[in-house]
Copies of this chain bind each other. A is one copy, B any other.
Amino acid sequence: MANKKITSKDVDFAQWYTDVVKEAHLSTYSNVKGCLILEPNGYAIWERMQRVLDSMFKQTGHKNVAMPMLIPENLLKKESELVKGFAPEVAWVTMGGSKNLEERMCIRPTSETLFSDYYSNIVKSYRDLPIKYNQWCSVMRWEKETRPFLRSREFWWQEGHTVHESQAEAEKETRDMLGVYRDFFEKYLAIPVVCGKKTEKEKFAGAEYSLTIEALMYNGVSLQSGTSHYFGQKFSKAYDIKFLNKQNEWEYAYQTSWGVSTRMIGALIMVHSDDDGLVLPPNIAPMQVRIIPIGNDEKIAKVAGDCLKKLNKAGISAEIDNSDQTPGFKFADAEVLGIPVRVEIGKRDLDEGKITLARRDTKQKYQIPLSCDIVSEVQKLMQTIQTEMFERAKARRDKMTYVAKNLDEFEKIMTKTPGFIIADWCGDAKCEERIKEIRGTKSRCILENEKMITGKCVACGKKAQHTVLWGIQY
């Protein structure tokens, strides 16, 4: 009995996505074109993501700062590749009060320029390094087509920006932070990801190279879910970030940046959710348990209250649905919001000394004795849900990951059953262009430790340089 307000995802995936965003009250469009409002349920997920990631960043030695939201044009222009990449899609502030500004400023589309300018003032010696700063903020990119969480003019993210005294240390940071993202996706979001390096064509403007984690959505479309960039000395030369090294010589510093965004909420929807609404893994759900009293009864109310107290005390987020709705309505409401576990407390069950636990992900129900330890039962169940959600997502991803030896095979797969395709590539951007003709397929990343499939480029047949993951992208 699916939620009647939600289109089936197998009938119209795009409409299903829009319906889930709406019915779970995650986000809505504002009257500011292309800009979202994060509603309380959507913001609560983002807040939980922030808490977990922030603590992972701090454990790896990073500190938070806040930079201005505006970038003067001359500062933006110092790094030529970056400005080429971003200038066409920034919002320009040209007036302050009633006066025209002498120099226009853009709202940050990303903050490499601001951090680099700051670092050029504070970095003097190798003793000042490494500097490992992060900021949580929103950024603005003047996109034409927008879709909640996946692409909007303003979006919320974190951006880490670090400075190091050697290439090796900066490259290690670039990989370490990609590892933090992978762990977060797999352990908290229950989403398997493929790690790899972006091709020259797809890398971040101004980076020496970009690493990425790529996830596959239910409909076979891939989502770039987090990136970590190695800048080498590109920005330090453009912004004059020099330090006295251990040999007492001036050297340009080595930098990285890395970020994930509210796009992750889109991934949660498109990987796990179903025709009844949102499905959230327990490790990221802002509300993990909803207790549902069935009927007005003093004993039921008491048992519900006891449950709540015990769960909260154990650090499990839980709440009671005390509305005067029918049980069916209450179940559907907990389902559309993606709350991982329901505790249902009804008179008949209680008379038999039992209560019921219900899983959101599989809809399975379990009767447990009222006398048992509710905390450990719920914890066990949440662990099972977390593990099985990841395993199901991984099995589906693996099933939808294909190998293509030539363009014919490639085209057949992408036309019939889109997903990830693994295929060899010669390294020529022209072959990427050729492949893009197949439903807009792009290289997702170079698979660094993968054995070659044929040793020949899937597009031109020449000697392959890399094995590459390909996909249609959001």
Contact = CB atoms under 8 A, between A and B. Distances in A.
Interface in A58-98: 63-72, 75, 87-98
Interface string A89-121: 111111111100000110100000010011001
A31 interface: yes
A88 B114 CA distance: 27
A94 B95 contact: yes
Contact of A64 (B35, B47, B69, B90): B47
A95 B92 contact: yes
A39 interface: yes
A184 interface: no
A31 to B, nearest CB: 6
A156 interface: yes
Contact of A96 (B28, B36, B68, B91): B91
B140 A69 contact: yes
A32 B66 contact: no
A154 interface: yes
A97 B107 contact: no
Contact of A118 (B37, B75, B95, B133): B37
A63 B97 CA distance: 33
A142 interface: yes
B30 A117 contact: yes
Contacts of A331: none
Given A94-B95, A95-B92, A32 B68 contact: yes
Interface string A115-158: 00110010000000000010001101010000000000010100
A345 to B, nearest CB: 25
A44 B64 contact: yes
A431 to B, nearest CB: 30
Nearest to A98: B88
A286 to B, nearest CB: 10
A57 interface: no
A243 B414 CA distance: 51
B138 A66 contact: yes
B64 A93 contact: no
A102 to B, nearest CB: 10
A142 B97 contact: yes
Contacts of A87: 97
Contacts of A440: none
Given A31-B117, A105-B32, A66 B38 contact: yes
Nearest to A32: B68
Nearest to A94: B94
B40 A133 contact: yes
A69 B70 CA distance: 12
Given A30-B117, A88-B97, A92-B95, A35 B66 contact: no
A32 B90 contact: no
Contact of A37 (B66, B75, B90): B66
A70 B38 contact: no
A37 B64 contact: no
B32 A71 contact: yes
A118 B27 CA distance: 12
A88 to B, nearest CB: 5
Contacts of A40: 63-65, 133
B133 A66 contact: no
Contacts of A47: 64
A138 B108 CA distance: 13
Given A36-B68, A37-B118, A90 B97 contact: yes
Contact of A91 (B46, B95, B114): B95
A156 to B, nearest CB: 6
Contacts of A75: 31-32
A68 B142 contact: no
A114 B29 CA distance: 12
Given A70-B32, A72-B32, A138-B69, A63 B92 contact: no
Nearest to A93: B91
A288 B117 CA distance: 32
List the 8 closest A-B pairs by CB distance, nearest first.
A35-B68, A38-B66, A40-B63, A92-B95, A96-B142, A32-B68, A94-B94, A91-B93
17 contacts: A30-B68, A32-B71, A32-B75, A35-B68, A37-B68, A38-B66, A40-B63, A44-B63, A44-B64, A69-B69, A69-B138, A69-B154, A70-B91, A88-B98, A92-B95, A93-B93, A137-B138
